[in-house]
Amino acid sequence: MKFEVNILGCSAATCTLKRNTTSQLLNIHDKLFLIDCGEGTQIQLRKFKFKFQRISNIFISHLHGDHYLGLFGLMSSMHLLGRTKILHIYGPPELKGLIDLNIKVSQSYLRYKYEFHPTQAENSELIYEDSTILIHSLPLNHRIPTTGFVFVEKLKKNRIIKTKIDEYKLGVEEMLHLKNGNDVFREGEKTIYSKNCTLAPFPPRKFVFMSDTAPLTEGLELIENADLLYHESTFLNDQIDRAKHTFHSTAEQAALVAKNGNVNRLCLGHFSNRYKELSSFLDEARPHFKNCILASDGLNIRI
């Protein structure tokens, strides 16, 4: 089943000709989740050929413009293109007032319903759950209330060994029974044991989104053992004083967070426009955390 992160924008503050402002699209089991919605996100969705009417859940980390100003246009386009299914939006409580005000002053309406789910940046919360995934908020350390997001698959059932299907002529209900760890009893025949017909499930996959934030030293339990951590690295250490002043992180600091969280892979992003060439971010991060890559618009990361 798919578990993919698609970078739509990785620039800090303002877009450039090569980098749009922050937005990511997750495809988890063919369900699309949008994280942040900087200006121009709907253009990026079209450019990289994603059907944004399939998006049912949008997560906004905080109310700095480079993370949410594209939301109003995206919602309007969804309306104009005939959307009727409900849209769920998760974000700071003040965001709902901004959405409603935008609709009111433009004397507009939406042909679909949107449901708002307020987040809070003091404590982690379970903010979304379905049959396959859990999503938690992750309090960050920024100038205004900001949350990251943690996406974790639920533990799957055991996997049927394909050759056993023909060997035992297994029916659908029998396979479900075996996958649940139960043995199958057939009258007048030998018992079919689950342990002989199944393999352990694949371990649940985990993605953590952290932007914008000063480096965290506490509350890292939620990022532990993540398959992929996206962590902002707005600056290099040559601007560490500015990073501290603006509650952002350097590439080295992001790498140390990844190391302390024992994550598998780190993706650096949210780059300041002062940096035209980005290889120095890897040079700074990799001495502390080797399995590190740079975000770029259009990058697809499979987990």
Question: Catalytic positions, please?
Answer: 66
100: tokens are: 């409603």
Helices 94-105 and 71-80, interaxial angle, to 10°?
50
Distance CA 78, CA 84 (A): 9
Distance between CA atoms of residues 129 and 57, nearest Å: 11
Phi–psi pair at 118, nearest 5 degrees: -70, 140
Q: Which of 122, 158, 115 is nearest to 137 (CA)?
A: 122
Placement of tokens 């339990």 in the chain = 221
If we measure between CA atoms, which residue out of 300, 303, 227, 297 comes closest to residue 44? 297
Spacing of C-alpha 272 from chain mean position: 21
